[in-house]
Amino acid sequence: NGILYSEVRRPCRAMLLVNPHSGKGQALSLFTRHVQHMLNEAGVSHTLVITERPNHARELVREADLSQWDALVIISGDGLLFEVVNGLMEREDWERAIQTPLGILPGGSGNAMAASIHHYSGAQPVSSEELLVSCGFLLCKGLVSHMDLASVHLGSASSSPTRVFSFLSVAWGFVADVDVESERYRHIGAARFTLGTLVRLASLRVYQGRLAFLPADNAGRVDGRPLCSLVVPCQNNFHNSCNSNNASRARKHEPVPADAPLKGPPDSLLVPLDQPVPSNWVVVPEDNFILVLAVYQSHLGEDFYTAPESTLNDGIIHLLYVRAGISRIALLQLFLAMGKGTHLANNCPHLVYVQVRALRLEPSSPKGLITVDGEVVEYGPVQAQVHSGLARLISR
Ligand code: ADP
Ligand code: MG
Protein backbone atom coordinates (compact mmCIF):
# COMPACT_ATOMS: atom_id res chain seq x y z
CA ASN A 1 0.00 0.00 0.00
CA GLY A 2 2.96 2.32 -0.45
CA ILE A 3 1.17 4.10 -3.27
CA LEU A 4 -1.93 5.71 -1.85
CA TYR A 5 -3.79 5.89 -5.11
CA SER A 6 -3.40 5.43 -8.81
CA GLU A 7 -5.45 6.17 -11.89
CA VAL A 8 -7.52 3.85 -14.02
CA ARG A 9 -6.14 3.22 -17.50
CA ARG A 10 -7.26 5.60 -20.27
CA PRO A 11 -9.17 5.04 -22.39
CA CYS A 12 -10.94 3.02 -19.73
CA ARG A 13 -13.01 -0.06 -20.53
CA ALA A 14 -15.59 -0.52 -17.80
CA MET A 15 -18.09 -3.28 -17.29
CA LEU A 16 -21.21 -1.65 -15.87
CA LEU A 17 -23.38 -4.08 -13.94
CA VAL A 18 -26.94 -2.89 -13.38
CA ASN A 19 -29.49 -4.43 -11.06
CA PRO A 20 -32.78 -3.48 -12.76
CA HIS A 21 -34.73 -4.14 -9.55
CA SER A 22 -32.59 -2.22 -7.08
CA GLY A 23 -34.08 0.77 -5.32
CA LYS A 24 -37.25 1.92 -7.01
CA GLY A 25 -36.30 -0.04 -10.12
CA GLN A 26 -34.95 3.02 -11.93
CA ALA A 27 -31.21 2.40 -11.80
CA LEU A 28 -30.82 2.13 -15.56
CA SER A 29 -32.91 5.18 -16.49
CA LEU A 30 -31.18 7.25 -13.81
CA PHE A 31 -27.84 6.22 -15.25
CA THR A 32 -28.71 7.10 -18.84
CA ARG A 33 -30.22 10.41 -17.75
CA HIS A 34 -27.52 11.61 -15.38
CA VAL A 35 -24.21 9.82 -15.89
CA GLN A 36 -23.82 8.24 -19.32
CA HIS A 37 -22.86 11.43 -21.17
CA MET A 38 -20.29 12.27 -18.46
CA LEU A 39 -18.60 8.90 -18.93
CA ASN A 40 -18.58 9.30 -22.71
CA GLU A 41 -16.92 12.69 -22.43
CA ALA A 42 -14.37 11.36 -19.96
CA GLY A 43 -13.37 8.55 -22.32
CA VAL A 44 -14.81 5.77 -20.20
CA SER A 45 -16.12 3.25 -22.70
CA HIS A 46 -18.60 0.95 -21.06
CA THR A 47 -20.54 -2.20 -21.64
CA LEU A 48 -23.84 -2.45 -19.80
CA VAL A 49 -24.70 -5.78 -18.27
CA ILE A 50 -28.19 -6.07 -16.82
CA THR A 51 -28.38 -8.69 -14.09
CA GLU A 52 -31.15 -11.25 -14.47
CA ARG A 53 -31.29 -12.70 -10.96
CA PRO A 54 -29.59 -12.60 -7.59
CA ASN A 55 -26.01 -13.94 -7.79
CA HIS A 56 -25.86 -13.36 -11.56
CA ALA A 57 -23.20 -10.66 -11.15
CA ARG A 58 -21.28 -12.85 -8.73
CA GLU A 59 -21.14 -15.69 -11.26
CA LEU A 60 -20.26 -13.37 -14.15
CA VAL A 61 -17.38 -11.83 -12.25
CA ARG A 62 -16.15 -15.21 -11.05
CA GLU A 63 -15.81 -16.41 -14.67
CA ALA A 64 -14.96 -13.14 -16.48
CA ASP A 65 -11.79 -12.58 -18.48
CA LEU A 66 -10.60 -9.66 -16.36
CA SER A 67 -7.89 -8.68 -18.86
CA GLN A 68 -10.77 -7.22 -20.92
CA TRP A 69 -11.72 -4.71 -18.24
CA ASP A 70 -10.05 -1.77 -16.52
CA ALA A 71 -12.89 -1.36 -14.03
CA LEU A 72 -15.99 -3.16 -12.80
CA VAL A 73 -18.69 -0.66 -11.97
CA ILE A 74 -22.00 -1.45 -10.36
CA ILE A 75 -25.17 0.64 -10.65
CA SER A 76 -27.25 -0.59 -7.80
CA GLY A 77 -27.32 -0.65 -4.03
CA ASP A 78 -24.68 -2.25 -1.85
CA GLY A 79 -26.03 -5.74 -2.54
CA LEU A 80 -24.60 -5.90 -6.04
CA LEU A 81 -21.16 -4.71 -4.90
CA PHE A 82 -21.23 -7.49 -2.32
CA GLU A 83 -21.80 -9.96 -5.16
CA VAL A 84 -18.91 -8.53 -7.20
CA VAL A 85 -16.44 -8.52 -4.30
CA ASN A 86 -17.28 -12.12 -3.46
CA GLY A 87 -17.23 -13.23 -7.10
CA LEU A 88 -13.68 -11.85 -7.36
CA MET A 89 -12.59 -13.48 -4.10
CA GLU A 90 -13.93 -16.86 -5.22
CA ARG A 91 -11.57 -16.99 -8.22
CA GLU A 92 -8.40 -19.05 -8.33
CA ASP A 93 -6.57 -15.81 -9.18
CA TRP A 94 -8.30 -13.87 -6.36
CA GLU A 95 -5.12 -12.05 -5.41
CA ARG A 96 -4.88 -10.36 -8.77
CA ALA A 97 -8.64 -10.24 -9.41
CA ILE A 98 -9.42 -8.24 -6.28
CA GLN A 99 -7.00 -5.56 -7.52
CA THR A 100 -9.43 -4.74 -10.34
CA PRO A 101 -10.65 -1.18 -9.75
CA LEU A 102 -14.28 -1.25 -8.63
CA GLY A 103 -16.72 1.59 -8.99
CA ILE A 104 -20.14 2.32 -7.60
CA LEU A 105 -23.02 4.43 -8.82
CA PRO A 106 -25.94 4.59 -6.39
CA GLY A 107 -29.05 3.03 -7.89
CA GLY A 108 -30.41 1.14 -4.92
CA SER A 109 -32.27 2.04 -1.79
CA GLY A 110 -29.28 1.23 0.42
CA ASN A 111 -26.38 3.23 -1.02
CA ALA A 112 -23.95 3.17 1.88
CA MET A 113 -20.79 2.76 -0.14
CA ALA A 114 -21.76 5.55 -2.53
CA ALA A 115 -22.59 7.85 0.40
CA SER A 116 -19.25 6.97 1.98
CA ILE A 117 -17.11 7.74 -1.08
CA HIS A 118 -19.03 10.97 -1.61
CA HIS A 119 -18.24 11.86 2.00
CA TYR A 120 -14.54 10.93 1.65
CA SER A 121 -14.35 13.28 -1.36
CA GLY A 122 -14.91 16.13 1.11
CA ALA A 123 -18.22 17.25 -0.37
CA GLN A 124 -21.30 18.31 1.60
CA PRO A 125 -23.94 15.61 2.15
CA VAL A 126 -26.36 15.11 -0.74
CA SER A 127 -28.80 12.38 -1.67
CA SER A 128 -30.63 10.77 -4.57
CA GLU A 129 -29.74 12.13 -8.02
CA GLU A 130 -27.13 14.51 -6.65
CA LEU A 131 -25.32 11.60 -5.04
CA LEU A 132 -25.47 9.75 -8.34
CA VAL A 133 -23.96 12.69 -10.21
CA SER A 134 -21.23 13.06 -7.57
CA CYS A 135 -20.30 9.38 -7.85
CA GLY A 136 -20.42 9.65 -11.66
CA PHE A 137 -17.94 12.50 -11.42
CA LEU A 138 -15.62 10.45 -9.19
CA LEU A 139 -15.80 7.67 -11.75
CA CYS A 140 -14.79 10.08 -14.51
CA LYS A 141 -11.82 11.28 -12.45
CA GLY A 142 -10.80 7.65 -12.14
CA LEU A 143 -8.58 7.82 -9.05
CA VAL A 144 -8.21 4.43 -7.45
CA SER A 145 -7.72 3.95 -3.69
CA HIS A 146 -7.30 0.86 -1.59
CA MET A 147 -10.33 -0.26 0.36
CA ASP A 148 -10.57 -2.46 3.46
CA LEU A 149 -12.41 -5.74 3.30
CA ALA A 150 -13.42 -7.87 6.23
CA SER A 151 -13.30 -11.62 6.09
CA VAL A 152 -16.49 -12.86 7.74
CA HIS A 153 -16.91 -16.41 9.02
CA LEU A 154 -20.41 -17.73 9.46
CA GLY A 155 -21.12 -20.90 11.32
CA SER A 156 -24.70 -21.98 11.80
CA ALA A 157 -25.68 -25.14 13.67
CA SER A 158 -27.06 -26.68 10.50
CA SER A 159 -24.17 -26.33 8.06
CA SER A 160 -20.40 -26.23 7.79
CA PRO A 161 -18.64 -22.88 8.25
CA THR A 162 -18.50 -20.46 5.35
CA ARG A 163 -16.47 -17.36 4.68
CA VAL A 164 -17.53 -14.25 2.80
CA PHE A 165 -15.83 -10.93 2.15
CA SER A 166 -17.50 -7.75 3.24
CA PHE A 167 -16.78 -4.10 2.43
CA LEU A 168 -19.31 -2.45 4.70
CA SER A 169 -20.87 -4.01 7.76
CA VAL A 170 -21.94 -6.83 9.97
CA ALA A 171 -25.20 -6.06 11.76
CA TRP A 172 -27.32 -7.81 14.35
CA GLY A 173 -30.36 -6.63 16.24
CA PHE A 174 -32.24 -3.43 15.56
CA VAL A 175 -30.39 -2.22 12.46
CA ALA A 176 -30.34 -5.64 10.77
CA ASP A 177 -34.05 -6.07 11.44
CA VAL A 178 -34.89 -2.65 10.03
CA ASP A 179 -32.78 -3.32 6.95
CA VAL A 180 -34.67 -6.51 6.19
CA GLU A 181 -38.16 -5.55 7.39
CA SER A 182 -38.08 -2.33 5.40
CA GLU A 183 -37.66 -4.28 2.15
CA ARG A 184 -41.42 -4.06 1.85
CA TYR A 185 -41.18 -0.26 1.58
CA ARG A 186 -38.59 -0.48 -1.20
CA HIS A 187 -40.78 1.68 -3.48
CA ILE A 188 -40.16 4.76 -1.28
CA GLY A 189 -36.38 4.55 -1.76
CA ALA A 190 -33.97 5.49 1.03
CA ALA A 191 -36.87 6.72 3.21
CA ARG A 192 -37.63 3.04 3.81
CA PHE A 193 -35.05 3.00 6.61
CA THR A 194 -36.66 5.92 8.46
CA LEU A 195 -40.08 4.33 8.24
CA GLY A 196 -38.64 0.93 9.22
CA THR A 197 -36.90 2.49 12.24
CA LEU A 198 -40.15 4.00 13.54
CA VAL A 199 -42.01 0.71 13.07
CA ARG A 200 -39.25 -1.23 14.89
CA LEU A 201 -39.12 1.31 17.73
CA ALA A 202 -42.76 0.57 18.39
CA SER A 203 -41.96 -3.11 18.86
CA LEU A 204 -38.51 -2.79 20.40
CA ARG A 205 -36.85 -6.06 21.38
CA VAL A 206 -33.76 -7.17 23.24
CA TYR A 207 -31.23 -9.52 21.64
CA GLN A 208 -29.18 -11.90 23.74
CA GLY A 209 -25.70 -13.04 22.93
CA ARG A 210 -22.03 -12.66 23.60
CA LEU A 211 -19.71 -10.18 21.93
CA ALA A 212 -15.90 -10.24 21.92
CA PHE A 213 -13.31 -8.26 20.01
CA LEU A 214 -9.64 -7.65 19.46
CA PRO A 215 -9.00 -3.94 20.14
CA ALA A 216 -7.24 -2.02 17.38
CA ASP A 217 -5.18 -0.22 19.95
CA ASN A 218 -4.29 -1.94 23.19
CA ALA A 219 -4.40 1.38 24.98
CA GLY A 220 -8.02 1.73 23.89
CA ARG A 221 -10.81 2.33 26.32
CA VAL A 222 -14.43 1.36 26.36
CA ASP A 223 -16.79 3.69 28.03
CA GLY A 224 -14.04 5.52 29.87
CA ARG A 225 -13.00 2.29 31.58
CA PRO A 226 -9.66 0.76 30.65
CA LEU A 227 -10.22 -2.24 28.44
CA CYS A 228 -8.55 -4.69 30.75
CA SER A 229 -11.20 -4.21 33.43
CA LEU A 230 -13.77 -5.46 30.96
CA VAL A 231 -12.06 -8.70 30.16
CA VAL A 232 -13.98 -11.63 31.49
CA PRO A 233 -12.31 -15.01 31.34
CA CYS A 234 -13.29 -16.88 28.22
CA GLN A 235 -15.20 -19.92 29.35
CA ASN A 236 -16.05 -22.65 27.01
CA ASN A 237 -17.67 -21.36 23.91
CA PHE A 238 -21.37 -20.85 23.72
CA HIS A 239 -23.35 -23.76 22.67
CA ASN A 240 -24.98 -22.64 19.52
CA SER A 241 -28.68 -23.13 19.88
CA CYS A 242 -29.64 -20.83 17.04
CA ASN A 243 -32.28 -21.93 14.63
CA SER A 244 -32.29 -20.19 11.35
CA ASN A 245 -35.79 -18.78 11.26
CA ASN A 246 -34.85 -16.83 8.21
CA ALA A 247 -33.00 -19.61 6.48
CA SER A 248 -35.08 -19.20 3.37
CA ARG A 249 -34.13 -15.52 3.05
CA ALA A 250 -30.50 -16.05 3.87
CA ARG A 251 -28.12 -15.87 0.99
CA LYS A 252 -26.49 -19.23 0.54
CA HIS A 253 -22.72 -19.29 0.49
CA GLU A 254 -20.52 -22.14 -0.56
CA PRO A 255 -19.18 -24.06 2.43
CA VAL A 256 -15.41 -24.18 2.52
CA PRO A 257 -14.32 -27.84 2.22
CA ALA A 258 -11.64 -28.59 4.79
CA ASP A 259 -9.12 -29.77 2.20
CA ALA A 260 -9.76 -27.02 -0.38
CA PRO A 261 -6.98 -24.48 -0.94
CA LEU A 262 -8.06 -21.29 0.78
CA LYS A 263 -9.14 -18.60 -1.65
CA GLY A 264 -8.35 -15.28 -0.12
CA PRO A 265 -5.84 -14.32 2.56
CA PRO A 266 -5.54 -16.38 5.74
CA ASP A 267 -7.22 -14.89 8.81
CA SER A 268 -4.32 -14.73 11.22
CA LEU A 269 -6.36 -13.08 13.99
CA LEU A 270 -9.13 -15.67 14.13
CA VAL A 271 -9.41 -19.11 15.63
CA PRO A 272 -12.16 -21.54 14.59
CA LEU A 273 -15.64 -20.59 15.77
CA ASP A 274 -15.92 -23.66 17.95
CA GLN A 275 -12.88 -22.62 20.00
CA PRO A 276 -12.78 -19.86 22.63
CA VAL A 277 -11.53 -16.47 21.46
CA PRO A 278 -7.79 -15.85 22.00
CA SER A 279 -6.78 -14.58 25.44
CA ASN A 280 -5.82 -11.10 24.19
CA TRP A 281 -9.43 -10.48 23.12
CA VAL A 282 -11.96 -8.53 25.17
CA VAL A 283 -15.26 -10.20 25.99
CA VAL A 284 -17.84 -7.51 26.73
CA PRO A 285 -19.67 -7.90 30.04
CA GLU A 286 -23.14 -7.30 28.59
CA ASP A 287 -25.22 -10.03 27.10
CA ASN A 288 -28.38 -8.07 26.37
CA PHE A 289 -28.23 -5.79 23.36
CA ILE A 290 -30.46 -3.58 21.26
CA LEU A 291 -28.02 -3.65 18.39
CA VAL A 292 -24.50 -4.59 17.42
CA LEU A 293 -23.01 -2.91 14.40
CA ALA A 294 -19.55 -3.43 12.94
CA VAL A 295 -18.82 -1.02 10.10
CA TYR A 296 -15.74 -0.22 8.06
CA GLN A 297 -17.00 2.80 6.12
CA SER A 298 -18.37 6.13 7.29
CA HIS A 299 -21.95 5.72 6.13
CA LEU A 300 -24.42 2.91 6.41
CA GLY A 301 -26.94 4.79 4.30
CA GLU A 302 -27.37 8.16 2.65
CA ASP A 303 -28.66 9.56 5.96
CA PHE A 304 -26.85 7.23 8.29
CA TYR A 305 -23.42 8.55 9.26
CA THR A 306 -22.49 5.73 11.62
CA ALA A 307 -18.68 5.91 11.82
CA PRO A 308 -17.47 9.50 11.39
CA GLU A 309 -13.86 8.50 12.01
CA SER A 310 -13.78 5.76 9.38
CA THR A 311 -11.84 6.13 6.18
CA LEU A 312 -11.71 3.86 3.14
CA ASN A 313 -8.67 1.90 4.26
CA ASP A 314 -7.94 2.64 7.90
CA GLY A 315 -7.68 -1.08 8.63
CA ILE A 316 -10.23 -0.66 11.39
CA ILE A 317 -13.59 -2.19 12.18
CA HIS A 318 -15.67 0.48 13.90
CA LEU A 319 -17.75 -1.44 16.42
CA LEU A 320 -20.84 0.14 17.93
CA TYR A 321 -23.26 -1.51 20.24
CA VAL A 322 -26.25 -0.38 22.25
CA ARG A 323 -26.94 -2.07 25.56
CA ALA A 324 -30.41 -3.10 26.56
CA GLY A 325 -32.17 -0.76 28.97
CA ILE A 326 -32.20 2.29 26.72
CA SER A 327 -35.56 4.03 26.49
CA ARG A 328 -37.37 4.31 23.19
CA ILE A 329 -36.99 8.08 23.21
CA ALA A 330 -33.25 7.87 23.88
CA LEU A 331 -32.90 5.33 21.08
CA LEU A 332 -34.82 7.57 18.70
CA GLN A 333 -32.53 10.47 19.66
CA LEU A 334 -29.56 8.22 19.01
CA PHE A 335 -30.77 7.38 15.51
CA LEU A 336 -31.49 11.04 14.79
CA ALA A 337 -27.94 11.87 15.93
CA MET A 338 -26.56 9.11 13.69
CA GLY A 339 -28.17 10.82 10.75
CA LYS A 340 -25.81 13.73 11.38
CA GLY A 341 -22.92 11.73 12.79
CA THR A 342 -23.12 13.43 16.20
CA HIS A 343 -24.09 10.30 18.19
CA LEU A 344 -20.61 9.69 19.62
CA ALA A 345 -20.45 13.20 21.05
CA ASN A 346 -23.81 12.80 22.79
CA ASN A 347 -22.48 10.72 25.70
CA CYS A 348 -25.33 8.26 25.47
CA PRO A 349 -24.65 5.87 28.38
CA HIS A 350 -26.04 2.88 26.48
CA LEU A 351 -23.89 3.35 23.37
CA VAL A 352 -20.41 1.85 23.24
CA TYR A 353 -17.97 2.58 20.41
CA VAL A 354 -14.64 0.87 20.03
CA GLN A 355 -12.17 0.43 17.20
CA VAL A 356 -11.22 -3.19 16.64
CA ARG A 357 -9.35 -5.47 14.24
CA ALA A 358 -11.54 -8.50 14.73
CA LEU A 359 -14.71 -9.48 16.53
CA ARG A 360 -16.93 -12.40 17.33
CA LEU A 361 -20.66 -12.38 17.97
CA GLU A 362 -22.49 -15.39 19.33
CA PRO A 363 -26.22 -14.80 19.45
CA SER A 364 -28.11 -16.88 21.96
CA SER A 365 -31.58 -15.59 21.14
CA PRO A 366 -33.11 -18.44 19.18
CA LYS A 367 -34.44 -16.13 16.48
CA GLY A 368 -32.91 -13.18 14.75
CA LEU A 369 -31.22 -11.78 11.72
CA ILE A 370 -27.62 -11.11 10.87
CA THR A 371 -26.73 -9.09 7.82
CA VAL A 372 -23.40 -8.69 6.06
CA ASP A 373 -23.30 -5.59 3.85
CA GLY A 374 -27.07 -5.44 4.23
CA GLU A 375 -27.57 -8.98 2.92
CA VAL A 376 -29.15 -11.58 5.19
CA VAL A 377 -26.76 -14.40 6.02
CA GLU A 378 -27.29 -17.55 8.00
CA TYR A 379 -28.13 -16.83 11.62
CA GLY A 380 -25.61 -18.14 14.11
CA PRO A 381 -22.17 -17.33 15.45
CA VAL A 382 -20.19 -14.96 13.28
CA GLN A 383 -16.66 -13.59 13.44
CA ALA A 384 -14.71 -11.20 11.27
CA GLN A 385 -11.27 -9.71 10.81
CA VAL A 386 -10.28 -6.74 8.74
CA HIS A 387 -7.87 -6.98 5.79
CA SER A 388 -6.51 -3.51 5.29
CA GLY A 389 -6.69 -2.22 1.73
CA LEU A 390 -7.35 -5.62 0.13
CA ALA A 391 -9.62 -4.27 -2.62
CA ARG A 392 -9.44 -1.17 -4.79
CA LEU A 393 -12.19 1.35 -5.38
CA ILE A 394 -12.55 4.34 -7.67
CA SER A 395 -13.12 7.15 -5.20
CA ARG A 396 -11.56 10.34 -3.83
P1 ADP B 1 -31.09 -2.19 -2.91
O2 ADP B 1 -30.19 -1.20 -2.25
O3 ADP B 1 -32.23 -1.49 -3.55
O4 ADP B 1 -31.51 -3.29 -1.99
P5 ADP B 1 -29.15 -3.98 -4.03
O6 ADP B 1 -28.09 -3.71 -5.02
O7 ADP B 1 -28.70 -4.15 -2.64
O8 ADP B 1 -30.26 -2.85 -4.10
O9 ADP B 1 -29.89 -5.28 -4.53
C10 ADP B 1 -30.86 -5.97 -3.79
C11 ADP B 1 -30.75 -7.45 -4.05
O12 ADP B 1 -31.07 -7.77 -5.40
C13 ADP B 1 -29.36 -8.01 -3.84
O14 ADP B 1 -29.47 -9.12 -2.96
C15 ADP B 1 -28.91 -8.46 -5.21
O16 ADP B 1 -28.08 -9.60 -5.12
C17 ADP B 1 -30.21 -8.81 -5.86
N18 ADP B 1 -30.23 -8.79 -7.33
C19 ADP B 1 -29.25 -8.46 -8.20
N20 ADP B 1 -29.69 -8.53 -9.47
C21 ADP B 1 -30.98 -8.92 -9.41
C22 ADP B 1 -32.00 -9.16 -10.41
N23 ADP B 1 -31.76 -9.01 -11.71
N24 ADP B 1 -33.22 -9.52 -9.97
C25 ADP B 1 -33.48 -9.65 -8.65
N26 ADP B 1 -32.57 -9.43 -7.67
C27 ADP B 1 -31.34 -9.07 -8.04
MG1 MG C 1 -12.76 2.12 7.30
361 and 269 in a common domain: yes
d(Cα 318, Cα 294) in Å, to the nearest integer? 6
Between the two ends of the chain, the Cα-to-Cα distance in Å is 16
Model pLDDT for residues 258-282, shown as the tens digit of each residue: 455 568 999 999 999 999 999 999 9
User: How many domains are there within the chain?
Assistant: 2
| CATH number (domain holding residue 70) | 3.40.50.10330
- The residue contributing the CA closest to ligand 1 atom 11 is 79
Q: What is the pLDDT of residue 4?
A: 59
348 and 319 in a common domain: yes
pTM of the model: 0.90
Q: What is the pLDDT of residue 107?
A: 92
303 is catalytic: no
d(Cα 291, Cα 38) in Å, to the nearest integer? 41
Q: Which of 128, 149, 170 lies at the terminal end of a domain, its last residue? A: 149
121 and 172 in a common domain: no
In one letter, which amino acid is 69?
A: W
Q: What is the pLDDT of residue 190?
A: 74
Tens-digit pLDDT string for the chain (396 aa) = 445 568 888 778 999 999 999 888 889 999 999 999 999 999 999 999 999 999 999 999 999 999 999 999 999 999 999 999 999 999 999 999 999 999 999 998 889 999 999 999 999 999 889 999 999 999 999 999 999 999 999 986 666 779 999 999 999 999 999 988 888 888 887 788 889 999 999 999 999 999 999 999 854 444 444 443 333 333 333 333 333 344 455 665 655 554 555 689 999 999 999 999 999 999 999 999 999 999 999 999 998 999 999 999 999 999 999 999 999 999 999 999 999 999 999 889 999 999 999 999 999 988 889 999 999 999 999 999 999 999 999 998
Query: Which listed residue (65, 70, 78, 303) is catalytic?
Result: 78
227 and 141 in a common domain: no
Q: What is the pLDDT of residue 244?
A: 37
Q: What is the pLDDT of residue 287?
A: 95
Distance 322 CA to ligand 2 centre (A): 20
Q: Which domain holds residue 166?
A: 151-389
- Nearest ligand 1 atom, CA 251: 14
Q: What is the pLDDT of residue 105?
A: 97
ipTM over 0.90: yes
Q: Which of 117, 149, 181 lies at the terminal end of a domain, its last residue? A: 149
Ligand 1, pocket-test mutation among 26, 80, 376, most atoms within 8 A of CB? 80
Residue 317, judged by CB atoms within 10 A of its CB (0-12, 13-18, 19+), counts as: buried
Is 396 part of any domain? Answer: no
- The residue contributing the CA closest to ligand 1 atom 6 is 77
Model pLDDT for residues 168-207, shown as the tens digit of each residue: 999 999 999 998 888 888 888 778 888 999 999 999 999 9
211: which residues sit within 8 A by CB, 6+ positions away? Answer: 283, 284, 286, 289, 292, 321, 359, 360, 361, 362
Q: What is the pLDDT of residue 240?
A: 35
The answer to whether 77 and 355 have CB atoms below 8 angstroms apart is no
The answer to whether 317 and 359 have CB atoms below 8 angstroms apart is yes
Q: Which residues line ligand 1 (CB under 6 A)?
A: 19-23, 51-54, 56, 76-80, 83, 108-110, 375
Ligand 1, pocket-test mutation among 16, 17, 18, 19, most atoms within 8 A of CB? 19
Query: Which ligand approaches the C-alpha of residue 373 most closely?
Result: 1
Distance 295 CA to ligand 2 centre (A): 7
- The residue contributing the CA closest to ligand 1 atom 12 is 54
122: which residues sit within 8 A by CB, 6+ positions away? Answer: none
Q: What is the pLDDT of residue 8?
A: 87
Q: Which of 112, 131, 149 lies at the terminal end of a domain, its last residue? A: 149
- Nearest ligand 1 atom, CA 375: 14
Ligand 1, pocket-test mutation among 58, 76, 183, most atoms within 8 A of CB? 76
156 and 30 in a common domain: no
331 and 193 in a common domain: yes
- Nearest ligand 1 atom, CA 111: 2
